[in-house]
Amino acid sequence: MNTVVQGNPTGHQPPADVVTEGLQPFLHDVCTTLYAPSLVLSRPAGDIAGGPDGFFHGDRRLLSTLSVRVEGVPVLPVSHTLAAADRTAFRAVLRGVGEHTADPAVTLHRVRSLEPGVLREELEIANAGVKDIRVEVVVSAGTDLASMHDVKSGHRVPALPAEVEDGALLWRRDEVAVRLSASAGSPRIDAGAGEFRFEVALAPRTSWRTTLECTVTDDEPQRFPAVARDAVPWSKTGLRSADQRMDQLFARSVGDLERLLLSDPEHPDDQFLAAGSPWFLTLFGRDSLWAARMLLPLGSDLAAGTLRTLARRQGTIVDERTDEQPGKILHEVRREARKLNEGASLPPVYYGTVDATPLWVILLHDAWRWGMDPEQVRDLLPHAEAALEWLATYGDADGDGLLEYVNASGLGLSNQGWKDSGDAIRWRDGTHAEAPIALCEVQAYAYEAAIDGAALLRAFGRPGAERWEEWAERLKRRFRETFWVEDETGRYPAVALDAAKRPVDSVTSGFGHLLGTGLLDEEESALLAARLAGPELNSGFGLRTLSTDSTGFNPFGYHIGSIWPHDTAIAVHGLVRAGFPAEAASLAEGLIAASPAFEGRLPELFAGHGSAVDSVPAPYPASCRPQAWSAASAVTLLTAALGLEADVPEGTLRFSPRAGEGVGPLHLTGLRVAGAPLEVRLDATGQVRVTAPDTLTVHGADRA
């Protein structure tokens, strides 16, 4: 991405502090460098300049400002390059310095790199001209040690005074100390101003360099430590295809996912994906489970680590304050309580989610099919049985055969599905639904979890399979009896049932989560496939969360009209599983078409105006990026295009690339099944050739 600043004679970057006090800051124009649990948010030209900007580690801002200027000289940014998730380069021109023609002669090059708890900025002033130059380079820095909550809420926290210690700037508060030093240049240090000043004299064709390093000392250990570079739980991947957009999306997504990895401090070998940057660099049950499920074609190790990390924290008691219940899988884990806009506060370990528990069972089943070690699966079956019991008791608290949620304490989330904003579940006329609420997609998860759980119990010789199959069939009948409604276009399932068991009649992207789960018959699936393909939901850049014909539709609404890449990818996968490859290919192409606008780094969500209105998608200004399940969506699009399904216990690997029209030819490496490498080639005619373990029978493809 090239960023050119015009009409700025001083060369200073515009401050990020243009938000109103108390409002969540916008993120669409920030540059993110990431190595979880650390990240840097800055202006596109490189400066950390207030607002949401900062060097963060473990939900605490260590630097709130960091700027590089040249005294009396305009420094004009010309480009920045995201070299990797944890490495970004910025280039700028020192206007009027050393120039003897109209060409720039002197440049500033900044290379930012990140390790957990360590920020480095390599600075280089290069003189490509024919004149001697002399300039004063000024590095200014400061910190407020604000919590991530304060930053997200738009609350300004007073800056701390700096000290000088051993040739470095130092800031302290309580148990935290932040140190900023320079490797070379013998700067003058001004603690009051928080500045390093370097005198730089350069002859023609020479350069000057120094490296800034910021480190933190914190007596409180990280809740979830970083993962070493050589410990990524999948092999090196590669994609070469006829579509450069897809190649960029895949490479950027996998690179971001590597830097979103965190580990369980109780068992450091167990890894999971933090939900996203900057607000959600922690364990989120739903997000971590979906992302691990999407990445199963890269191997089952991530799924196994995610399952075990969550199983260790599975609910054991009833606690209304945290929403914990026996067998329940948690929603999120934080360093401290998280305050909500509505005035409520979530405890550090919070269980207020209705879907993480069935999704845990589904992931265990799917990981088993992709080749997770049977003994590891067996060890987790007691947790699966506890999760299934939660479905039938606490999940279905009123005994009507469906899963519902309610914020019983009044302190947690009012909506507890993946669309968890307060206004997400509403009638077509815009009226908000009243809880308890039974979401349509949660019934699909519950059905799939019960069927999958029964398959696991039967395969491992444990009792109860018939019970859960019967339970699933009752849920299917109940869903068909209560959720289906009709409008002028035809029949469809409501987004939810409200407190009075009335079907809330909005048309939503939830249809995509129902397909391919077994909850629907062929006729019902066809009705939903047609809805998903229609212009009210299919924006041309992906799937809108709410139909445009709903009164509450807002293309900038968090869950009421925006586009979430993972939501679209789930629909693509469901359409392929249900036998609708053309509709799946259309949605997939829309998401791929949207990706260049975000440099291949798909955000958490973006605006739902659509390709008929905008030539490129508009960002949702407060969206997180990168986001684990958005990045993992790239793998799901490829899996769906290939029609790839694994069943290691049955010894089969299947391909059906009917949704891959226009994707081939492609060559995909770095996949794993049954712990062994899997390599796939798709030619322009749709023929698949694979290199796969000899223990598996391959259907729909030739062996290479």
The pLDDT of residue 56 is above 50: yes
The pLDDT of residue 501 is above 60: yes
Q: Are residues 277 and 303 in the same domain?
A: yes
E strands of 47-167, at which residues? Answer: 48-49, 54-57, 61-63, 65-70, 75-84, 87-94, 106-115, 118-127, 133-142, 163-165
pLDDT bucket at 20, cuts 50 / 70 / 90: low
Q: Which two tokens stand for residue 466?
A: 């018939």
Average model confidence (pLDDT) across the chain: 94
pLDDT bucket at 410, cuts 50 / 70 / 90: confident
Q: Are residues 181 and 311 in the same domain?
A: no
Q: Which of 159, 189, 218 is the last residue of a domain?
A: 218
115-142 pLDDT, tens digit per residue, is: 999 999 999 999 999 999 999 999 999 9
Residue 702 lies in a domain: no
Q: Decide if 197 contacts 136 (C-beta within 8 A).
A: yes
Q: Are residues 204 and 258 in the same domain?
A: no
Residue 596 lies in a domain: yes
Q: Are residues 210 and 236 in the same domain?
A: no
The pLDDT of residue 5 is above 60: no
| Residues ≥6 apart with Cβ < 8 Å to 140 | 65, 66, 67, 69, 193, 194, 195
229-285 pLDDT, tens digit per residue, is: 999 999 999 999 999 999 999 999 999 999 999 999 999 999 999 999 999 999 999
C-alpha 663: how far from its chain's center? 24
With 0-12 / 13-18 / 19 or more C-beta atoms within 10 angstroms meaning exposed / middle / buried, residue 97 is: buried
Q: Are residues 141 and 235 in the same domain?
A: no
The pLDDT of residue 9 is above 50: no
Q: Are residues 303 and 213 in the same domain?
A: no
pLDDT bucket at 1, cuts 50 / 70 / 90: very low
Whole-number pLDDT of residue 220: 74
Bridge pairing between strands 206-218 and 176-182? antiparallel
> 133 has which bridge partners?
202
pTM, rounded to two decimals:
0.95
The pLDDT of residue 3 is above 50: no
The neighbour count for residue 685, using CB atoms within 10 Å, is 7
Whole-number pLDDT of residue 224: 95
Q: Among 329-338, 500-509, 560-569, 624-633, which stretch is predicted with the lowest mean pLDDT?
A: 329-338
Q: Are residues 406 and 284 in the same domain?
A: yes
The one-letter amino acid at 536: E
| Residues ≥6 apart with Cβ < 8 Å to 8 | 14, 74, 76
Residue 672 lies in a domain: yes
DSSP string, 594-640: HGGGGTT---S-B----TTT-SSPPBPTT--SSBHHHHHHHHHHHHH
pLDDT bucket at 525, cuts 50 / 70 / 90: very high
Whole-number pLDDT of residue 668: 98
CATH number at residue 521: 1.50.10.10
Distance set, CA 590 to CA 35, 181, 261, 499, 511 (Å): 30, 47, 28, 36, 18
Residue 390 lies in a domain: yes
Residue 571 lies in a domain: yes
Residue 594 lies in a domain: yes
Q: Kindly state the average pLDDT of the residues 661-686.
A: 92
The pLDDT of residue 691 is above 90: yes
pLDDT bucket at 7, cuts 50 / 70 / 90: very low
Q: Which of 179, 196, 218 is the last residue of a domain?
A: 218
CATH number at residue 80: 2.70.98.40
Number of domains in the chain: 2
Q: Are residues 277 and 200 in the same domain?
A: no
What stretch of H or E contains 357? helix 356-369
Q: Among 284-293, 360-369, 470-479, 650-659, which stretch is predicted with the lowest mean pLDDT?
A: 650-659
Q: How far apart are CA 261 and CA 272, in angstroms?
A: 6
Q: Are residues 179 and 157 in the same domain?
A: yes
Whole-number pLDDT of residue 337: 82
Residue 224 lies in a domain: no
What is the percent of the chain with per-residue pLDDT over 70, rounded to a whole number? 96
Q: Which two tokens stand for residue 225?
A: 């430590």
Whole-number pLDDT of residue 343: 62
Residue 694 lies in a domain: no
pLDDT bucket at 4, cuts 50 / 70 / 90: very low
Q: Are residues 212 and 250 in the same domain?
A: no
Q: Are residues 177 and 106 in the same domain?
A: yes
Q: Are residues 213 and 243 in the same domain?
A: no
The pLDDT of residue 378 is above 60: yes
pLDDT bucket at 342, cuts 50 / 70 / 90: low
Q: Kindly state the average pLDDT of the residues 608-612.
A: 97
The pLDDT of residue 660 is above 60: yes
562-574 pLDDT, tens digit per residue, is: 999 999 999 999 9
Which residue range forms the structural domain that includes residue 170?
31-218
Q: How far apart are CA 199 and CA 188, in angstroms?
A: 9
The pLDDT of residue 33 is above 60: yes
